[in-house]
Homo-oligomer: A and B are copies of this chain.
């Protein structure tokens, strides 16, 4: 998606260690007009795919998913919650996700009332790097018996391999911008076809 790639080039900040900061428009300050265009693009790519629920994870995925939902007939958006601890009261699907940024596991939950075998789920998120967060969401869908119809990502850091691992497992992953390489020193970024 040209518009997103241009925005990353203009307002993204490349840092050492493969870090791409896009907090000016994606995950701290939110450009809702861009989110709307992203939603339209995903809707076009997933045209004809039955989707009755969008699943994302707090916090950065929520705004993107809620704006994009309009392009999927206003289906409900469910966001997985990062919990302090897993309270196995039987009312929640739970898993834990390893965060490389925070260097620790954190529990993630979804209320059982909000995901089940009748759901055809589109998973949306802002970033796909090593894929740990998505693997957690996929596990929750599996626990719920929900069918994952596809995965829509704003920015895939393709050089970290998570996207290709998910594609190899048979999932359809539609990333709107795929970063092939970045150079913090030179301030350059190369995109792969997306």
Contact = CB atoms under 8 A, between A and B. Distances in A.
A105 interface: no
Contact of A67 (B67, B75, B111): B67
Interface string A105-134: 000001101100000000000000000000
Nearest to A65: B63
A59 B76 contact: no
Given A33-B74, A58-B58, A74-B33, A114 B28 contact: yes
A29 B77 contact: yes
A71 to B, nearest CB: 11
Interface in A44-82: 58-59, 62-67, 69-70, 74-79, 81
Copies in the complex: 2
A70 B32 contact: yes
Contact of A113 (B24, B30, B35, B77): B24
Contacts of A75: 32
A60 to B, nearest CB: 8
Contact of A59 (B31, B36, B81): B81
Contact of A62 (B62, B70, B74, B76): B62
A111 B28 contact: yes
Nearest to A114: B29
A23 interface: yes
